[in-house]
Each structure stands twice: as C-alpha cells, then as structure tokens.
C-alpha cells in the first residue's frame, strides 16, 4: 500500500488532470503521475520533462531505456523497472540485455558504447560526477546534445525512483 494515496482525478486541477489522462501514450494515467499531482505547481513541469526525455530527445531510445533500467536497478525502484522494462522491449532492447543490466556491466551482451553509457549511469547515480575517463569516452561518440540528454535522463529517473520508493507508489492493476 502506498504511503500516500494517489490523487483522485476529481481532486486535480483541470490542467493537471488533462495531462494525467490526456496523453497519447500508454503512459497516460500512470500512478506515478497521480502521485506527483499532489505537488500541483510542479506536477505539470515534471510530466513535461519526462515526456520530452521520452519523445523528443535525440539520444537513442535503446540507450535511454538501458539507462533508465540501470537507474531502477541501482535504486531498487520496482515500479520504475516494471514500466521501463515494457518500454525497453518496445524500443528493441533484447531480453538478454534487460536481464544483464541488473548485474555486471562488462557483460558481452553490451557493445562498447552501451558499456560506457551504463558506466556513466553508475557513476552519475552513485557519485554525482563521472570520471573524466568515462565522460571523455562517451564524448567520442555522443554529441553534446546527446550527452546532456543522457545526463538529464539519469537525473530525472533518479528523481522518479526517489518519489516512487518514498511514497511507495503501487503498480497499476
């Protein structure tokens, strides 16, 4: 059971309710958004940022989803893992990578770029700042825009994990 109840649609301001229910993706109406709606003044900005990272970023969707799954694994965020395992499969992440992302990152199922992205995810999640070596390795392949989007994705989904785990948001039934 959640530590806080998800906000009922009837209690949300109209603009927030429209964002929570009116999305075009299967992610509309999720309990995470109904929980965040308690923070009325921030909720719509939170949802916009999340949506932009999912739909408007240049960063490859497979790399994005590996990153999010790694954050979920590191933070032990079950809801986040559940939702993004589905999205990762839709983005073309193979099952063996989904399984492996929970464990050792030097697994041969990952190519060099994927290993570097996952290493960067670990460093940013656990230490805030990555090493120069990891950052420079990524900078050889990713554009500046992709590097910033990757960093924003890591930060955003760490925020998501902290909201989910501290409010104990339940997976939709």
Could you give all domains of the chain from N- to C-terminal order, each with its CATH number? 11-55 (no CATH), 61-167 (1.20.1290.10)
Closest by Cα among 82, 36, 88, 80 to 63: 88
pLDDT digits (tens, 9 = 90+) for 125-171: 999 999 999 999 999 999 999 999 999 999 999 999 999 999 999 99
SS3 content of the chain, % helix, strand, coil (to 5): 65, 0, 35
Output the CA–CA distances (angstroms, integers) from residue 73 to 16, 26, 81, in the order listed.
30, 22, 7
23 has pLDDT over 70: no
Question: Do 38 and 12 meet the contact criterion of CB atoms below 8 Å apart?
Answer: no
pLDDT score of 19: 79
The average pLDDT across 79-107 equals 95
What 3-state DSSP class applies to 104? coil
Structure tokens, 48: 């916009």
């Amino acid at each position: 059971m959640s530590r806080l109840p998800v906000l009922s649609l009837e209690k949300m301001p109209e603009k927030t309710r429209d964002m929570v229910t009116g999305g075009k993706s299967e992610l509309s109406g999720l309990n995470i958004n109904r929980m965040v709606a308690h923070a009325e003044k921030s909720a719509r900005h939170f949802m916009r940022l999340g949506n932009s990272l999912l739909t408007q970023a240049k960063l490859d969707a497979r790399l994005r989803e590996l990153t999010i799954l790694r954050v979920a694994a590191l933070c032990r965020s079950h809801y986040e893992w559940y939702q993004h395992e589905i999205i990762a499969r839709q983005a073309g992440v193979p099952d063996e990578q989904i399984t492996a992302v929970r464990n050792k990152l030097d697994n041969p199922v990952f190519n060099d770029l994927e290993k570097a992205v996952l290493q960067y995810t670990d460093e940013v999640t656990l230490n805030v700042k990555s090493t120069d070596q990891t950052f420079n390795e990524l900078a050889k392949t990713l554009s500046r825009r992709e590097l910033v989007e990757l960093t924003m994705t890591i930060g955003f989904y760490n925020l998501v994990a902290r909201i989910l785990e501290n409010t104990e948001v339940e997976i939709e039934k």
